[in-house]
Structure 1
Amino acid sequence: MESIIKVEGMTCGHCKQSVEGALEKLDGVTSAAVDLEAGDVTVTHEDNVTKEAMSEAIESQGFDVV
């Protein structure tokens, strides 16, 4: 399954690493790819991974999910 999540506040490579790393630590997430220009992250994950869990992981890094 694939989800695209809009994220505000990502501006650089460190932001990209932080968000991707936090998401990839979640059980059931296969990969996460940030697109800084679009301001979103594409997450490949199993069906049991909720948007709430992904949002919490992103927000724990200091970014806002919109």
Structure 2
Amino acid sequence: MVRLGTPVRWSGHEGQVIARTMSGEPFYDLRLADGRIVHYVREADLALPPERAPATPLPSLN
């Protein structure tokens, strides 16, 4: 399952998951970078960005 707000790539377009439909197979609605909304995109058709490395923790002030 892809979380809401996740940046994704679909058919050569950058976008963000804005909704999901939970049925036998999950479908997602995307907001593309140009503002278009695409409905009912299969999870298999999405490319997820690689996991980002966690931010470097700040040194302790203790």
As a proportion of its length, which structure holds more helix?
Answer: 1
Is TM-score (shorter-chain normalized) higher than 0.5? no
Return the structure number with greater relative CO, CA threshold 8 A, min gap 6.
1
Normalised by the length of structure 2, the TM-score is 0.31
